[in-house]
Structure 1
Amino acid sequence: MVVFTCNHCGESLQKPRVEKHYSFQCRRPKSLTCVDCFKDFKNEEYAVHTKCITEEERYAAKGSIPGGIVKKGEVKQESWTDMIKSIVDTETSMKPSLRNLFKTISNYTNVPRKKVKFINFLKSSTGGRVNFDDIEAAWGLIEKHKNEQSKNNQQENGTKHKLNGDCGEAPVNKKIKTGEEVEDNKTSEDDVFSFKGTILRILSVKGSISCKKLQKKVLNAYVKETGCEHTEKTVKKYNKKLKKLPNVVINDDVVSLVTNEQ
């Protein structure tokens, strides 16, 4: 789901929360920045920003991801959407209101795969005009088909395993981690979020930005990517990375990116 930062108060907002935020909290003109691509949106411009770049695309070297890359999340969502569409054809005894609800759901490509989010999504997308019992019944049918699909997949995998017999690879013995391996794991954990890449990406779009706003944008991106709240240690790490960047200048509480042409 696309997530924005309010440029007035710095709060992170999932797309469905934007309207409520500006109606009850920030009663000012809408001014948002996408935490993934760092594009700014004024007023209602954010409404058309329905999909953004992935973490893989964001940190990959230029040209390393081909246009036809198959993304795991998209494949799962497409499979989920196809399953929902198939219910309309296979469940012939549905009452009219439930069938109409499924036809409505089938028009969306971003239907959530968790029950609570699914219910909230339908309430929001239909303007609250749908019967709650129909929503519950719809989820029940989806769960039924999902479980049947999982069962069929397990049976197929079991058959393949039997056919393969003893030809599969022998299990690899676990190795005791050396000090060097532990250090490597620690490094990889630190590299989950790229402070340097995020700072440079924001500055490449903005050119110059206040220290306070830059820190908010980077920390919001950190929270979204890692799923963890930032701590004092995170802020210290951010400041350390910022000061080490050679092409970045801090002057009068404003951070600027200095290009080779300047």
Structure 2
Amino acid sequence: MVFFTCNICGESVKKPAVEKHYQTRCRGKTKNVSCMDCLKDFYEEEYVAHTKCISEAQKYSNQNFVPKEPKNKNAQKQESWMDIIRAILDSTEYQLTPQLRNAFQRLQSVDNVPRKKAKFENFVGNCMRMPRHQATEVWDILEKELNKMKEAKQAELAAAKAAKQKEAGAEAEAETEADVPPKKKTKLENGEATQTDSAATEETNEFDWTAQLSKLVAKQPDGIFLEKLKKKLAKKYTKHLAVTELTEKQSKKFDKRFDKQLKKCDGLQLEGDLVKQC
């Protein structure tokens, strides 16, 4: 929560209470406040955009201080909600009336705007004295902009998924071409190496990729990270080949087969870097 000092009477005021302060205590005066943390002055409605400020650690440390990223998920969600409010004010699509524009501008100065319709309408009605019909109008615009952003996000994810599938198809085609035996076999100096490669190929064909993948993912109800799944399966694959360590050739083949078999497995789905059961 950002706190300000009124430069007219010297009283400290929470950000949501600035408007009320200049309607009662310093009524008729031009808004003139300064932030209690960063000491920056704000005139008229400039304070509304001041949603965050420096922490005490930043304030009293040297200039090379690097702040840590906040881990509060609720704060991040609230900031996203405030981005929607700012996007509406900047957009020409909604053609806001002066009353609605004023309502959104007032919302900008509040740090805890509810994200559910019923709670939102109660909040703005009780805390901001907003008429019920106006609260409903504001919510409808917020919901429209929220759905618009969700659709844009889904379209972006779909485009990324299509590009990934296209890339995977090209890799699968290249793998198929690589598996075609050459017209002439190269003679190897060591006959035993040929027998070992043949045996390994037979064992690889017998490895049940689908069952092993499903078994590993089933142990993690919330999903398992892709790299972790790959490492666990590589251990089982190595054990199946009865070797202590995969050769470079075997590792490359495993990587190709892993990606291909994971896409083929109907019971699994990939969400970002997380593999889950459907």
**TM-score normalised by length of structure 1:** 0.38
Q: Which has the higher contact order (CA 8 A, sep 6+)?
A: 1
Higher gyration radius (CA): 2
